[in-house]
Structure 1
Amino acid sequence: MREHFQGLGHVAVYTQDIEKSIAFYENLGGEVRGRGAVNAPAGEKKLALVLFGGITLELIQSPTDMPMGEGNVPHFAILVDDLDAAAAEVRAAGVDSFLTPEKKVLPDLFGGLQNWFFTGPSGEQIELLQMLQREMAFT
């Protein structure tokens, strides 16, 4: 299983105002690496990737109010080289907590990506993330 894991993909952070959050991280030396949006049942989620302190933050502004106290970090992502193989190995290790029956393929988001979420033993969400174009990789 380890052969497919390449490192931390990103840390997702909910924000009430994505532009304010971007300005905050840029002021501290961060750099925006991509912007995008995805449709959700309640409306459009605004997204931004910000390289900050050697890691990538995925800033998420939800179309609905999100709790903003402790726990505004909704998931972490593990970068993989082969999403299907990595997911199969996670399943073979006994994990049956994938949140959807199929992976998501988002060819227009951040240069193209595919992902699949599952939960850990305390309900934490873990994203297996494969970038479709190497130049948009998070490293």
Structure 2
Amino acid sequence: MASLISGLAHIGLRSADIERATRFYHSLGFTTQQSLTSDSPQGCIEVRFLALGELVLELYQLPWPGKQRDAASFGIDHVALRVNDLAASQQWVEQLGYPVIEGPTHQPSGRNGVRYFMIAGPDGERVEFSQPL
């Protein structure tokens, strides 16, 4: 079967301080393409998409009221693979024996957002399958 993956959508970086991370990546030539905030029961989640050429980083900072996090809690969290057919991709990964651990769900980003789901990678990373809408 031919791969349903058409390319890299983005790399997700979990940030302890999204402002500091944004300044760092701006200094390397990235520009902010989009900023989002959403509310969760734990508080406000901040998300920024930064781009340099075709490389896109998704910086996000989760609310951690009253909790300390160690350095291993930050950094690369997931790799997002672009697909053209999310339902077919989900069926494919499930046939491979990889259970979906998140989604499918809609994320409002870009013009119309994306639909995505995630599976677990072998070393704790998450692999996102992302279909632009």
Q: Which amino acid in the other structure matches residue 24 of structure 1?
A: F
Counterpart of 1:98 (choices 86, 97, 100) is 100
Q: CA deviation at 1:115?
A: 0.8
Identity rate, percent: 27
Instruction: Say if 2:114 is the partner of 1:113.
Output: yes
Q: Which residue of 1 aligns with 2:81?
A: 78
Structure (1/2) with the larger strand percentage: 2
Distance 2:125 2:26 in 1: 28
Q: CA deviation at 1:56?
A: 0.8
Q: CA deviation at 1:17?
A: 2.0
CA RMSD of aligned residues (A): 2.1
Aligned pairs for 1:37-56 within 5 A: 37-52=37-52, 54-56=54-56
Say which SS state the counterpart of residue 123 (structure 1) adopts: coil
Distance 1:29 1:93 in 2: 39
> Contact conserved, 2:14 with 2:74, CA < 8 A, in 1?
no
- 5+ residue gaps, structure 1, are 133-139
Structure 1 residues 4-26: Cα deviation after superposition (integer angstroms, max 9, x where no partner)? 21111111112222222212211
Aligned pairs for 1:1-139 within 5 A: 2-52=2-52, 54-64=54-64, 66-69=69-72, 72-95=75-98, 97-100=99-102, 102-106=103-107, 108-111=108-111, 112-132=113-133
State the aligned residue count: 129
> Contact conserved, 1:11 with 1:76, CA < 8 A, in 2?
yes
Distance 1:31 1:93 in 2: 37
Distance 1:120 1:75 in 2: 9
Change in CA separation of 1:81 and 1:93 when aligned onto 2, cut-off 3 Å? same
Q: CA deviation at 1:48?
A: 0.4
Q: Which amino acid in the other structure matches residue 129 of structure 2?
A: L
Say which SS state the counterpart of residue 94 (structure 1) adopts: coil
Large movers: runs of 4+ above 6 Å: none
| TM-score when normalising by structure 2 | 0.83
